[in-house]
Amino acid sequence: MHAAAIQTTAGDDRDANLAAAGVLVAQAAADGAELVVLPEYFSVAGSPDVLRAGAEPLDGPTVTWASGVAARYGIHLVAGSFPEVARGHDGRLSNTSCLLGPDGALLATYRKIHLFDVALRGVAFRESDTIAPGDETCLVPLDGSGAGGGRGGGGPRAETGAVAGPETGPETPARTGPDAVPVLGMTLCYDIRFPELYRMLALGGATVVCVPAAFTASTGPAHWELLLRARAVEDQVFVIGAGQVGELPAGMPRGHGHSMIIDPWGDVLAERTDPTPGVVAADLDLAALADVRARLPVLANRQPGAYRGLHADDRGTTN
């Protein structure tokens, strides 16, 4: 499978952002990409007030646009993320990523689980003030039919679904090799710092994981590549990181960019070091993935019985 990561610098004008993203998706598709990943908040970016004003439902302008683009080029398209209208009683939005199939069907929806509540060099960011955390992982086979459905659901409108983890039930070994169907695990930005999520996706059958992001320029130089490569190596999956780059609207930190694609050995297959919008692309060889897992069977060598206390309580967690 030929995959591409799109790097953008989004503003608060949805129409302008979609037009700019469309040019880059067209470039990726013309170069043969079958899977294209857009960044976090690619269609509208800015302060909490901007996100609230730009929030939309799943059948709103962003997903409608992405559906049309995916169908036009016959690709799987990860619509990075957008602010989804409040779904709960407390009025908070969701930071939502959608996968569109080659016929434009909505195949899966993932809502960001881990929220960016941090203080960096004296500047505090509290994503949870505006965004409610998701609570389900998301896996979907990229079978090319446009009707695969996410794990736990069937049909073109399938959304999220739980996958088996170290203590939650049987695992689904990934099918690998030249004729295997890639299985995509969906994550977003700050999720990359939580290895439990990526291990669950790998145990559920993921062979490719996407990371649409607006990673900050203050942490990115030290952590972005390191974390992407770590998740690829420890879970033996391809990782596609698509980032925002440069000056973003007020209320969002400067974007690190440096979009890249990592293979299961941890090698960087493609990266964009130019701090401007653009495309990076690479071939994802599932036969090579199978070889890595056969030679270094870390997933098979796990000892789940020794990890039973990992989530025995809520130490270190926040609401």
Secondary structure of residue 303 in the 3-state scheme: coil
Secondary structure of residue 218 in the 3-state scheme: coil
Most distant pair of Cα atoms in the chain: their distance: 52
Q: Do you know the residue count of the chain?
A: 319
Cα distance between residue 8 and residue 55, in whole Å: 19
Rg (CA), the chain: 18
From 84, 98, 138, 189, active-site residue: 189
From 56, 112, 127, 159, active-site residue: 112
- Contact between 243 and 39 under an 8 Å Cβ cutoff? The reply is yes
From 40, 56, 84, 159, active-site residue: 40
Cα distance between residue 23 and residue 74, in whole Å: 16
Active site residue 225: no
Active site residue 40: yes
Name which of 35, 40, 44 is nearest 5 in CA terms: 35
Contacts of 290 (CB under 8 A, 6+ apart): 176, 177, 180
**HSE toward the beta carbon, residue 1, CA cutoff 13 A:** 28
Give the active site residues.
40, 112, 189
